[in-house]
Amino acid sequence: MTRILVVDDSAVDRQLVGGLLKSHYDCQIEFAANGLEALARLSDSAPDLIVTDVNMPVKDGLELMREVRVLKPNVPVVLMTAYGSEALACRALEQGATSYVPKSQLAERLVPTVEDVLARVEAERSQQQLMRCLERSEFRFVLENDPALIDPLVNLVQPMVAGMSFGDFYGRLQIGIALKQALLNALFHGNLEISRGELEAVSGQLLTGDEPSLVERRRSEPPYRDRRIYVDISISPEEARFVVRDEGSGFDTSALPDPTRAGAMEGRSGRGLSLMRTFMDEVTFNEAGNEVTLVKRGRTGQTDRQTDSSA
């Protein structure tokens, strides 16, 4: 059974998080009141995942995440962030946290985030031996507007990234999460032109229910039904490059939020972009706003860049 360690100095919040996870997920929940208690638990046996508050006494979430990365490098860490802790959360993501959930959105975002991280972990661990033989990979996918296609594509890419030795375990998980965010944006906000508010309203029942959901209706109506998502992927020891283009009307890229600004990561529009920008070395949009390019440099690419900059 999956073991999840919940770390928070608030007993009420610990029980809230544990209850949310138990009600949606077959897992064993353990608790710690701060980072020091969490590390003591790690000395016995490591959980499959840690969900921790950022701001805690004794040892905070950022300190805990750093030590977990050294002591148990295969255990992912998901942060819970309070309003006003955006800069701290960004720093934690840069230093190895796998994802984050604003505390104001725990009820709607915690379970999907945990499930997504655990899925990325499983994909990372499978096929590792075969993928170490991979030298280079280039391919294009043309996806229909089907949410069910996104996870299989990310699961296909992640072992290839692992085979090229892109960073450590945490870094490779982050690449998969960033790519998934780009694909979700292309599908829902690009091709289907569903706003974030509308998407939240149908969250958890995208393609189910007695009445067709907004997503299902858009998928069957013109002009949305004929649109496709084009995904170009190139992976080499130097860099992993992902170009995701939809056929929607795009958006004004000058209005993109600053992820370190107070409240930016709380907003519906800020989380996916924050994850992409933090986890990848480059995130650029075309002028129309319907294509994003994500780049992660490998050790060779980073060495070349450092040599060029010092010349």
The CATH superfamily label for domain 2-123 reads Response regulator (3.40.50.2300)
Taking a C-beta distance cutoff of 8 angstroms, is the pair 143, 229 a contact? yes
Would you write out the chain's pLDDT as a tens digit for each of its 311 residues? 899 999 999 999 999 999 999 998 889 999 999 999 999 988 878 899 999 998 898 898 889 999 998 899 889 999 998 866 667 777 788 888 888 898 888 998 899 999 999 988 887 776 666 667 777 889 999 999 999 999 999 988 888 887 777 767 788 888 999 999 999 999 999 999 998 777 766 555 544 444 568 888 999 999 999 999 999 999 988 899 999 999 999 988 877 766 555 555 554 456 788 889 989 999 999 999 999 999 999 865 454 444 343 33
Please report the pLDDT score of residue 160 as a whole number.
Answer: 83
pLDDT at 221: 94
The amino acid occupying position 305 is R
> Taking the CB of residue 286, how many other CB atoms lie within 10 A of it?
13
Q: Domain limits of the chain?
A: 2-123, 134-310
Model pTM score:
0.71
- In CATH, which of 3.30.70.260, 3.30.565.10, 3.40.50.300, 1.10.645.10 is domain 134-310? 3.30.565.10
- Position 153 scores a pLDDT of 95
Whose CA is closest to 166, among 209, 128, 115? Answer: 128
Task: Answer yes or no: are the C-beta atoms of 283 and 231 closer than 8 Å.
Answer: no
Contact 293, 282 (CB under 8 A): yes
